Structure 1
Amino acid sequence: MNLNVNLGLPFVSVTVMFRGQKLKLERVLLDTGSAGTIFKADVVGAIGVVPESKDVVDSIRGVGGIEYVYTKNFDTIEFDGICIGNFQIEIGSMEYGGINLDGIIGFDFIRAAGLIIDSVRMLAYSDS
Structure 2
Amino acid sequence: MQIQIADGLPLVELRLGHAGRAVRIQRVLIDTGSGSTVISSLRAREIGVIPEPQDPIRTLRGVGGMEVVFVKRVDYILVDRRRFKNFEIELSPLDYGLEINGILGLDFLTATRAIVDLKHLELRFGRATKEI
User: Shorter-chain TM-score: which interval?
Assistant: over 0.9
Matching residue of 2:124: 125
Matching residue of 1:20: 20
Q: CA-atom RMSD, angstroms?
A: 0.9
Matching residue of 2:107: 108
- TM-score, scaled to structure 1: 0.95
Mapped partners of 2:63, 2:21: distance in 1: 32
Q: Which ranges of structure 1 fall in alignment gaps of 5 or more residues?
A: none
Deviating runs (4+, > 3 A) in structure 1? none
Matching residue of 2:41: 41
Mapped partners of 2:12, 2:55: distance in 1: 27
Structure-to-structure mapping, 1:87-98, within 5 angstroms: 87-97=87-97
The one-character-per-residue Cα deviations of 1:12-41 (angstroms, maximum 9, x if unpaired) are 000110122101101100111110000011
SS of corresponding position for 1:34 = coil
The one-character-per-residue Cα deviations of 1:65-103 (angstroms, maximum 9, x if unpaired) are 111100110100011122211100000111002x11110
Q: Does 1:55 align with 2:85?
A: no
SS of corresponding position for 2:46 = helix
Measured after TM superposition, the shift of residue 104 of structure 1 is: 0.2
The one-character-per-residue Cα deviations of 1:85-128 (angstroms, maximum 9, x if unpaired) are 1100000111002x111100001000111111111000010132
Mapped partners of 1:112, 1:82: distance in 2: 13
